[in-house]
Amino acid sequence: MIVLITGGLGFLGSHICVELMDKGYQVIVADNLSNSNIDVLDKINLINGKKPIFYNVDVCKAKDLEQIFTVHKIEGVIHLAGYKAVLESVVNPLKYYNNNITGTLNLLELCKEYGVNRFVFSSSATVYGDQVSPLHENMEVKRGTNPYGETKIMIERILEDYSHSNKEFGVIVLRYFNPIGAHESGLIGEDPKGIPNNLMPYLTRVANGEYPYLNIYGDDYNTIDGTGVRDYVHVVDIAKGHMVAMEKMKNGYDVFNLGTGRGTSVLQLVETFKGVNNVEIPFKIVDRRPGDIAVAYANVDKASTLLSWKAQRTLEDMVRDSWNFQLRNNVNNLL
């Protein structure tokens, strides 16, 4: 099967490339390198012994994107390309609406024109807003709490409407919880450009001495130790989730949570990281981050029942692999 992965050199995309190529898929990547690095192609080659076919293309440029569809007989699309920084989306909402929505519409137009009827979309637990966990796919999705989240909700609705209009079309929306960890080789992982917004890449840089301490955003939530609780899930498990979604897809629209079903607090994650990796993580408790919620973890029964997908890797695996990637990255940067 020939699959196009947009944003395929990013954190999730690179791991999905590895899983799909390992299973014999032919993978084409469209990525404009806005938050990823071209070196990832060589890293994938080191892991798999082959590279995906790469196009440096912005999904917002329809004509450029179309070139890929004219050259390759694309059979499925995994759409990850998009901006994802919450605070930036509040400051610059038009940038987010423009990029995330335009890119998706361009892709769908091309899927329609070239008869591509298998589509997996990268959504987020953020669409649930502040509801009581465990979060279930049947819960109502209301307005997004920020423009980034709103683009995810809008795109879910666009996909659902399109699937109603085209009975041949199959789409699976995957709502990720908090992907962390890295490939066990340490060759690919999360390496955001600039100061990381998310907890794990910030934490590994503190462990690495790049930042003096971790800011923990609030210890007065109604949780086990007052810090925020999230459902951390290993990126390799998430990548495998995309493969089964592609394989088991039926016509029509469907939505699945990808998480472990377990909540972990910030302090619990920090303690696990320290214990497993034997490194110090200095931290300071600071004010809550605006827009954060206390608790978010998944109900994962649907993916387990209908996709036979379950996260296999433990929190210990996640913190070990995240740190291993950081250490390997240090070595690579010296070469």
Task: Report the catalytic residues.
Answer: 148
Is residue 216 part of the contact set for ligand UD1 (CB under 6 A)?
Answer: yes
d(CA 43, CA 36): 13
Q: How far is the CB of 147 from ligand UD1 (least distance, A)?
A: 11
Indicate whether 307 belongs to the interface with ligand UD1 (CB under 6 A). no
Tokens of 9: 């050199």
Q: Which two tokens stand for residue 272?
A: 């696990």
For ligand UD1, the closer CB: 2 or 90:
90
Taking CB under 6 A as the criterion, the residue among 197, 208, 268, 304 binding ligand UD1 is 197
What's the closest the beta carbon of residue 149 comes to ligand UD1, in angstroms? 5
- Measured from the CB of residue 202, what is the shortest distance to ligand UD1 in angstroms? 4
- Looking at beta carbons only, is 116 or 255 nearer to ligand UD1? 255
In angstroms, rounded to a whole number, what is the distance separating the alpha carbons of residues 174 and 249? 12
CB of 53 to ligand UD1, least distance (A): 27
Instruction: Give the range of 43-51, 73-81, 191-199, 301-309 binding ligand UD1 by CB under 6 A.
Output: 191-199
- d(CA 201, CA 180) in angstroms, rounded, equals 8
Q: What is d(CA 15, CA 2) in angstroms, rounded to the nearest whole number?
A: 17
Helices 11-22/235-248 angle, 10° precision: 60
Binders of ligand UD1 among residues 242 to 271 (CB under 6 A) are: 266
Instruction: Please give the C-alpha separations between residue 193 and each of 36, 87, 288, in angstroms, as whole numbers.
Output: 8, 15, 24
Establish if 208 lies at the interface with ligand UD1 (CB under 6 A). no
In DSSP notation, 304-334 reads: IIII-------HHHHHHHHHHHHHHHHHHHH
Task: Give yes or no for residue 217 binding ligand UD1 (CB under 6 A).
Answer: yes
Which two three-digit tokens encode residue 59? 């999904």
Q: Does 202 bind ligand UD1 (CB under 6 A)?
A: yes
Return the ∠ at Cα 88 (arms to 239 and 228), rounded to 5°: 65
Instruction: Note the residues at the interface with ligand UD1 (CB under 6 A).
Output: 84, 86, 124, 126, 149, 178, 197-199, 202, 214-217, 228, 230, 266, 289, 291-292
